A and B are shown apart, each in its own frame.
Chain A
């Protein structure tokens, strides 16, 4: 393509199918020069696979985090309710009473654990 042809091509931009009749090697080679690497398709497919795995892991992490939060809140609420009920029934609160062994003697514990 010489410069006159190039100017002509630019001049024909307003027409549909610009330069159709002036289609030449340079324009074709310009089109052909814009390519991606030979491994482009594989790269795309691998990126999609990787992204899918990442999305799955991300989703799994979110679900586990959400589950953990729910369990933690429920557990904390249960402990508070237990502590309040122990306090209301005994007028005092201790670690043993929270564990339910506030009134247990050593003998009764041994008897409970060994069955004798």
Chain B
């Protein structure tokens, strides 16, 4: 199955073609936004094996909801919202079953373990940031992911997460404090 058949088409044109039954057009949408979804999902879940399944499910849900897509938001915002919701649901589900470390409190033991295992000076900052992100509570982690990995503004973040801009800023502030604390403890 070859994709990228419509590299110059706008999102609206691709949506129209998809709704007319052209699956290649949807393939182009997937190709266009797979990196964005990967950053959101993997930024939240890390390199978990099921992260790709969540990404796949996000695109499948997008496909089946395209007929309801009114174009009020950008397609990327709409898709990212689906990906965020699926990821947060997955985190909740795994938290209930104890399958995923999600919050700062739960991670306290691991922070110490990580600090003992590695010499901080030698540790890659990228790895450190990934670990620190993984230790944030999901609602704080998602705003940092949107900010750092997607480069979203406060307004864009609030649109994707469907929360007021003020809440985004307050969560960012809390996330900053938590990240500083986590990084200090990792040192």
Contacts and interface: CB of A to CB of B under 8 A. Distances in A.
Contacts of A37: 52
B56 A44 contact: yes
Interface string B39-77: 101110001000010011001100100000000000000
What interface size band does chain A fall in? 35 or more
Contact of B56 (A19, A29, A40): A40
A14 B27 contact: no
Contact of B63 (A41, A42, A48): A48
B100 interface: no
A59 interface: no
Contact of B1 (A16, A19, A45, A51): A45
Contact of A47 (B34, B56, B130, B149): B56
A10 interface: yes
24 contacts: A1-B129, A5-B125, A6-B125, A7-B183, A11-B176, A11-B180, A13-B147, A13-B148, A14-B176, A18-B147, A26-B125, A30-B129, A31-B39, A35-B38, A37-B52, A40-B30, A40-B56, A41-B3, A41-B30, A43-B56, A47-B56, A47-B60, A48-B26, A48-B63
B55 A40 contact: yes
Contacts of A31: 39, 149
Contacts of B183: 3, 6-7, 10
Interface string A20-41: 0000001101110111110011
A34 B149 contact: yes
A72 to B, nearest CB: 34
Interface of B: 1, 3, 23, 26-27, 30-31, 34-35, 37-39, 41-43, 47, 52, 55-56, 59-60, 63, 120, 124-126, 128-130, 144, 147-149, 151, 153-154, 169, 172-173, 175-176, 179-180, 183, 187
A2 interface: yes
Given A10-B179, A19-B148, A45-B26, A36 B120 contact: no
Contact of B149 (A7, A30, A48): A30
B60 A44 contact: yes
Question: Would you call the interface of chain A mostly helix, strand, loop, or mixed?
Answer: helix
A9 interface: yes
B60 A42 contact: no
B174 to A, nearest CB: 10
A29 B180 CA distance: 22
Given A27-B148, A36-B52, A37-B52, A45 B153 contact: no
A34 B148 contact: no
B99 to A, nearest CB: 20
Most chain-B Cβ atoms within 10 A of its Cβ — which of A13, A16, A26?
A13
B125 A17 contact: no
B121 to A, nearest CB: 8
